[in-house]
Structure 1
Amino acid sequence: MLTSIILVDYNSAKVTRKMLESIREFKYIKQIIIVDNNSQLENYEELIGYTKGLERSKSKKINVLRSDENLGYFGGLNLGIDFVLKNYEGENVLIANNDLLFEEDFFEILNQEKFNVKDLVIAPRVKTIDGHEQNPHLISKIGKKNILLYDFYYLNYYLGMLILKVKRKFMGRRKVKQVDKGMEIFAGIGAIYILTPYFFDCYRTLECPVFLWGEEIFLAHQIERVNGKIVYNPKLKVKHLESVTTSQMPSKEKYLLTKKSYKIYKKYMTK
């Protein structure tokens, strides 16, 4: 089965270029949609120039859509989904950040996979450049004790930063255990998902009532609502260029955005 790919770019054309260069087998790709999320004009022109410069067999499969406003992550993906659905032929639709590198056999393996009617979303194996596993992101919903920690974290920015520093000093960063078998999970990391044809039997869009953050939980709730499944598939491997060890404390602006999202999605993530 062929795959349509949708990525969102915001002032990071060079990163998008690296991602496209990691796709070796274009024969398994129906089309690639790059959503430019109202970047600077120079970034958009760089995307256009690069994609036009590819060999014809590749360039004809790539479309760059420019949004006249920054729609956020899922908002940008929805713009791409709308484009894909105008000529949808039952293919898988891979939605992703642009800071990923695909393993050489990724699309060959995906092309051979068979999915159950309940398998609406596939979460690949994602590893950072530091070697940290990021999926399965959440195997199940979160218990009340852990939710209390989140509640304290989001009471106040300065209290939250103190909690984060103490947690990292004594417990380190949250580590996802390497899992080598496929399984149903509650939520995958938001960097990449594969929407199977069965997803589009239920939905035509991704639901996300916020600009950024919390997308994983909103999608998990969306799938749960129709008794579907998110399935972790470790055979599908990507490298995430996010550096876990060099990431910094969240800015106050980011903290406030995540707090706003948390207040909405909290009820969806608790047992």
Structure 2
Amino acid sequence: MIKIAIFCVSYNSDKERDAYLASIDTAKRKASDQVHVDVYMADNTIEDNPGYFRAIRRLMQKVEIADYDYSIISNVDLILEEDFFQKLADYEGPEDTGWIAPRIWSELEQRDRNPARLFRPSLRKMKILRAFYQYPILDTIYHHTVYRRKKYYAKTNAGPIYAGHGSLIILTKSYFSKCGIIDYPMFLFCEELYLAENCRKAGLKVVYEPSIKVIDKEHVSIKKMSHRDYCRHNLKAMNYILSIFY
């Protein structure tokens, strides 16, 4: 039997949270005795909102992470496919896999959000991306022009990538044995880069696996954030990633 922990964060998203938990229960029943699943939920509030990965760290500090074969980090604006746990239990990837990036189907954009990044961004590209958040007008122009015509990766076969999408992340036991529990101090954003760089430094693979499927209901919490705060938090996260890994 495969032991799986799900660490998820909800912020003012009760309806989405309940639907997500219901999909977890359905997938558990379909997998029957193949899996044992424990769910750990952080309900962030206006009064106590540490952000995404800082809330995840709080949850992980309360459990013995080494007891689990897989640890899933996620938002709650998701629905698991009914065979999600069956596919994960049957998965046989490279032994040095640290992160499994599943197929995350965006209902809004009608595309797979994975693989998020096939290759590690160069220092030059990272600095360009940082400028978008340093000068928010650039981000606004980008989303009303280039973003709408952006071409996405069309990778359909399983295989190694640089980073997956952050809405649902499957980390292996090997990740935690080599990298420890999540220790990302930023409020939001660039979580994928943080994990990808940890895997890279530890000699672990990030693997795209489209047979494991999730439906993405689209950034319920982030949509409630002002553009100013969105850029401010992104800028802080980009500065952190650049200072630590580049």
The answer to whether 1:138 aligns with 2:145 is no
Q: Identity percentage over the alignment? A: 26
Q: Distance in 2 between matches of 1:135 and 1:141?
A: 15
* Number of aligned positions between the proteins: 236
CA RMSD of aligned residues (A): 2.6
Contact residue 179 and residue 202 of structure 2 kept, 8 A: no
Q: Which amino acid in 2 is paired with 1:260?
A: K
Residues 135 and 176 in structure 1, CA contact (< 8 A), matched pair in contact too: no
Q: Assess if the C-alpha contact under 8 Å between 2:53 and 2:186 holds in 1.
A: no
TM superposition shift of 1:144? 5.8
Instruction: Determine if contact 1:133/1:175 at 8 Å carries over to the other structure.
Output: no
Match of 2:153 among 157, 177, 181: 177
Deviation at 1:196, TM superposition (A): 1.0
- The alpha carbon displacement at 1:258 in A equals 0.7
Mean CA deviation greater in 107-116 or 180-189 = 107-116
SS at match of 1:98: coil
Query: Which of 1 and 2 has higher RCO (CA within 8 Å, sep 6+)?
Result: 2
Pairing 1:105–2:75 present = no
C-alpha distance 175-240 of structure 1, shift in aligned 2 (>3 A): farther
Distance in 2 (alpha carbons) for counterparts of 1:69 and 1:248: 16
Q: Matched residues in 2 for 1:115 and 1:200: separation?
A: 17
Structure 2 unaligned blocks of 5 or more: none
Q: 1:267 to 1:158 in 2, by over 3 A?
A: same
Match of 1:80 in 2: 59
Q: What is the TM-score with the length of structure 1 in the denominator?
A: 0.77
Mapped partners of 2:143, 2:123: distance in 1: 19
Equivalent position SS for 1:25: helix
1:215-239 residue CA offsets vs partner (Å, 9 max, x unmatched)? 1111111111111111111110100
SS of equivalent residue, structure 1 residue 31 = strand
Shift of 1:240: 0.2
Task: Please state whether the residue corresponding to 1:261 is helix, strand or coil.
Answer: helix
**Partner of residue 158, structure 1:** 137
- The structure with the largest alpha-carbon Rg is 1
Q: 1:171-226 CA distances to partner (integer Å, 9 max, x unpaired)? A: x2534333221111111111011111111211331131311111111111111111
Unaligned runs of 5+ residues in structure 1 are 41-67
What's the secondary structure of 2:238's corresponding residue? Answer: helix
2:8–2:75 Cα contact (<8 Å) kept: yes
Is 1:217 the counterpart of 2:204 in the alignment?
Answer: no
Gap change, CA 1:183 and 1:161, over 3 Å in 2? same
Partner Cα separation in structure 2 for residue 83 and residue 147 of structure 1 = 35
Report if aligned partners of 1:123, 1:232 keep a CA contact under 8 Å in 2: yes
Q: Which amino acid aligns with 1:154?
A: Y
Q: Is the 8 A contact 2:27 2:80 kept in 1?
A: no
Distance 1:101 1:214, change over 3 A: same
